[in-house]
Amino acid sequence: MRAVSPAQARKPAPPIEGEAGARARLSLAEFLLGTDEARECAQGTVDWLAQAGARRAICALIDGETGKVKDVLARGVPDSQLRGLTIALEDPQDPLVFALAGPEPVPLSAKRRRPAIFGRDDLLALPLPVSEKREARLGLLLVSLAGGELEAQARWAAELLGQKLSRLRSQTALLEGEHRLARERELLLSIINASPDPILLTDTEGRMIISNARADALFSAKDGESEGRHRAVALNNMLFSATLSQQAIDESGAARRELLLVSPSEGSDLLFELLSSVVQHPREGTCVVSILRNVTDLRAATEQIEENYRKLKLAEADVRAERDRLDLIIDSVADPILVTDPSGKILLMNSPAERLFTAPDDPAGNDDAQRVVRSNDAHFSSFVTNLFLTPGAGMRWRAEILLTDPAELQPLPVEAIAGKVLSEHGEVTAVVTILHDRTEALEKARLYEQLKAASAQLEERVREATAELVRRNELLQRQHLALEQGSQLKSQFLANMSHEFRTPLNAILGYTSMLLGGVSGAVTPPQKVKLERIDSNGKHLLSIINDILDISRIEAGKMPLHLEEFELPTLIGELLAEVEPLLQKAKLRTVTEIDELPPLLSDRQKVKQIVLNLLTNAIKFTPQGLVRVRATTDADECNALISVQDTGIGIAEQDHEEVFEDFRQADNSVTREYGGAGLGLSICRRLATMLGGRIELQSKLGQGSTFTLVIPRRGKRR
Amino acid sequence: MSAVAETPRRPLVLVVDDFADNREMYCEYLSFCGYDVIEARNGAEALEEARSRMPDIIIMDLSLPVMDGWEATRRLKDDDRTRMIPVVALTGHALAGHSQVARDAGCDSFLAKPCLPDQLVAEIKRMLESGKASIEAKR
């Protein structure tokens, strides 16, 4: 408000006393009430005093902060004098300072030497406000007292102005405080807004009291912003409150935890680290200061690091396993493996190598073993050296070294194969050597030599044997030839013999027959009997010759088979007709039991010869009774069975086999009695075999015999 | 044993055998039985007799000196004049194949020794009958 001083308003000067005086005092009071500025108040008061009659009135305002004179306002004083007014506040001897500090208004005598500003009149110095203490004095009012009632007026005006100044001062102080507070608050807010982390002050329920811009971005939404943002903000507030309450606000101070929020602008998840601490506020009570730190990226980074670490661990484990495997492999190789530096110093070796190049840890001190190990070492070193010295050794080098087994003290020839290990720059960093035990190989070579010698020997023997074999073979061939010739000769001999026998027999039998036939006239009965003897013996001789010839032919393989189909009943009929005279002569009955059979395929002539022989035998050896001829097939109808059964003398069990042998009858005595050369059954058996069959015999001595010819119904040419 | 007395000409039989006993025995019996008989001791004689006398039938032993029976038979059968005369082989060679060899040589019949005289006569009769039949058939 712009106050108008009373003088400027050209109001009439206030009367000193009475009603007029009261009105004058009221105008000053009103002016002061309506003015809020210290200088104007002071000017008004000075003006009023001048109006009241004071020739001079001066008001010095003192700055409460600095304690120095701030303004000097005066009436009745030339401006030039006014500028010279100073109050040396630090000088206690200065009458103005004294007046300012004193409890009462102080008269300043005009007799004393003083600045021109005071004029010639006595002055009354009134401290403002009077009632206050010296430190709180805000100014000094100097009034010339020339004039009757002026002192009282000055005292009152000083009282009033002092109060006003005091009030103004405290008002100013309040305003300044408010301004400072607002500025500090703005600063504070700009500080917390400057923080990249959301910062909130909330009550314990999580309701916002103060928040910075970052926090607002997460936790507040204005009307008109998107629905999504409103929802995200509501969710964030809920999550935040929940987290705070879960925290159960540890009174001891800051608590730290993770909080997952939603970004209202992007909708993505944001992970925060929540630092909250409880503060006690005189008015708000218990509050919580929370600082959120975005650790989304941090968490991702942490996870990445953990993942990397895990991978590293795995890789390390792999490498370790690989190395263990390699160790295992190297150790499991039965051959010694050594890694040396180029000078031959051993860097690494596997356990088989250790056995050769490390002295056994024997407290007794096996000198031999020590010596052997040193010797081995020397041999090996020289081998490695050769690798470098030998021109053209190249990357690989192979040599044989004679080592010694330290344990057995036996010579150990080994084949050493060395390879150079090169660095990136092509320098030899190490030499890897594998030793291979040659003992076995040498032994094998020795055995191989032996084997070769033995083989050569064997070959020689085989050659000899082969030669011998060839020789024998030739011999055999010659013998075979001789045998064949012999066989040929035998056949020829037999043929000749047969011919030579038959030729005289032809004459004997022929002439006998002629004599008996009466060609040379009648013969007497005794002559006839003798001729008949000649005839029968001649015929017997002929049958023997025929039998021998048959056996010879069979054995020489010159008895051909003539397979043909024929009816068995017809054949048996022919046979019975042939032996009918013999049967009648022996007075034997015959019985035939012939099944109906399909035609046989066999050699009819030979079947006939066999059965005829069986029949004549049966008749010959049966004094009385009957002869039974039976023809049938066996169970599976493969074979035809032709049996001739008699009631004759029979054959003892032990002779069953003998009767089929050459020149045999069961009993030699019988041969004489019954005649025959004993070749019949032996020929029968041979012929049956030729036909693919056999002859079976069932008989007991004195109980007759049954001979059965068994032949295939469909014979095969052999 | 009836003789063939009524026939206008008695059949002429040539008996070839080197063994006199057998030859004479057969000759005697054949004469006794009514045949005219001539003899030969080997194949060459047999050929000569056969060509000169033209017998009705020849009894031929096979193992003969000078010329054997097979060769003689072959020649007889190669000769147009004597081809018609039946030849009965009579031999002590009884081994298998002998009869076949004899037939291959041209023998018309085969008898193995020992052969009784009456068996021989029966065979001659049979051969002459069948020969007559075949001649009549040709006519």
Q: Compute the radius of gyration of chain A from its Cα atoms.
A: 82
What structural domains and CATH numbers belong to chain B?
Answer: 12-138 (3.40.50.2300)
Q: How many CB atoms lie within 10 A of CB A406?
A: 23
Q: How far apart are CA A395 and CA B138, in angstroms?
A: 115
CB contact under 8 A, B19 and A507: yes
Average pLDDT, chain A: 81
Task: Between A178 and A264, name the one with better pLDDT.
Answer: A178
Q: How far apart are CA A693 and CA A640, in angstroms?
A: 9
Share of chain B above pLDDT 90, in %: 32
**Residues of chain A positioned with their CB less than 8 A from the CB of B112:** 502
Q: What is the pTM of this model?
A: 0.41
Task: Report phi then psi at A256, rounded to 5.
Answer: -130, 135
**DSSP label at A232?**
H
Say which of A502, A558, A559 has its CB closest to residue B113.
A502
For residue A560, give how far its alpha carbon lies from the nearest alpha carbon of chain B (Å).
Answer: 8
Describe the strand order of the beta sheet including A285-294 as a list of residue ranges. Answer: A208-211, A199-203, A285-294, A269-281, A255-262
pLDDT at A140 over 70: yes
Q: What is the pLDDT of residues A373-394, one digit of tens each?
A: 888 888 888 888 877 777 766 7
**Residues of chain A positioned with their CB less than 8 A from the CB of B65:** none
Q: CB within 8 A of B136, min separation 6: which ones?
A: none
Q: Please name the residue of chain B whose CA is at the shortest distance from the CA of residue A513.
A: B116
CB B27 within 8 A of CB B70: no
CB A244 within 8 A of CB A275: no
CB contact under 8 A, B95 and A558: yes
Task: Report phi then psi at A307, rounded to 5.
Answer: -60, -45
For residue A487, give how far its alpha carbon lies from the nearest alpha carbon of chain B (Å).
Answer: 15
pLDDT band at B1 (very low <50, low <70, confident <90, very high): very low
B19 touches chain A (CB under 8 A): yes
pLDDT band at A311 (very low <50, low <70, confident <90, very high): very high
Q: How far apart are CA A183 and CA A492, in angstroms?
A: 162
Describe the strand order of the beta sheet including A705-712 as a list of residue ranges. Answer: A589-594, A626-633, A639-646, A705-712, A694-699
Identity of residue A294: N
A556 touches chain B (CB under 8 A): no
pLDDT recorded at residue A457: 92
Q: How far apart are CA A691 and CA A695, in angstroms?
A: 11
Say which of A503, A506, A517 has its CB closest to residue B1.
A517
pLDDT at A468 over 50: yes
**Residues of chain B positioned with their CB less than 8 A from the CB of A551:** none
For residue A541, give how far its alpha carbon lies from the nearest alpha carbon of chain B (Å).
Answer: 11
Say which of A500, A502, A519 has its CB closest to residue B114.
A502
A514 touches chain B (CB under 8 A): yes
- In order, the DSSP letters of chain B are ----TTSSSPPEEEEE-S-HHHHHHHHHHHHHTT-EEEEESSHHHHHHHHHHH--SEEEE-SS-SSS-HHHHHHHHHHSTTTTTS-EEEEES--STTHHHHHHHHT-SEEEESS--HHHHHHHHHHHHHHHHHHHHHH-
pLDDT recorded at residue A23: 81
For residue A557, give how far its alpha carbon lies from the nearest alpha carbon of chain B (Å).
Answer: 11
Q: Where are the alpha helices (DSSP H) in A422-524?
A: 439-516
Residue in B27, B68, B116 to test binding to A, most A beta-carbons within 10 Å: B116
- Which helix (H) or strand (E) is A573 found in, with range? helix A568-586
Strand partners, B9: none
**Residues of chain A positioned with their CB less than 8 A from the CB of B96:** 553, 558-560
Q: How far apart are CA B82 and CA B54, in angstroms?
A: 7
Q: How far apart are CA A51 and CA A329, in angstroms?
A: 125
pLDDT band at A670 (very low <50, low <70, confident <90, very high): very low
What structural domains and CATH numbers belong to chain A?
Answer: 18-177 (3.30.450.40), 195-294 (3.30.450.20), 333-437 (3.30.450.20), 561-712 (3.30.565.10)
Say which of A503, A514, A559 has its CB closest to residue B19.
A503
pLDDT at A39 over 80: yes
For residue B29, give how far its alpha carbon lies from the nearest alpha carbon of chain A (Å).
Answer: 7
**Residues of chain A positioned with their CB less than 8 A from the CB of B22:** 503, 506-507, 510
B92 touches chain A (CB under 8 A): yes
Q: Please name the residue of chain A whose CA is at the shortest distance from the CA of residue B1.
A: A517
Q: CB within 8 A of A27, min separation 6: which ones?
A: A6, A11, A14, A48
Least confident range of A93-97, A305-309, A415-419, A600-604:
A93-97
For residue B96, give how far its alpha carbon lies from the nearest alpha carbon of chain A (Å).
Answer: 7
Task: Report phi then psi at B110, rounded to 5.
Answer: -140, 130
Nearest CA to A201 among A211, A193, A192? A211
Q: What is the pLDDT of residues A469-503, one digit of tens each?
A: 999 889 988 888 888 777 777 767 777 777 788 88
Nearest CA to A370 among A358, A382, A379? A358
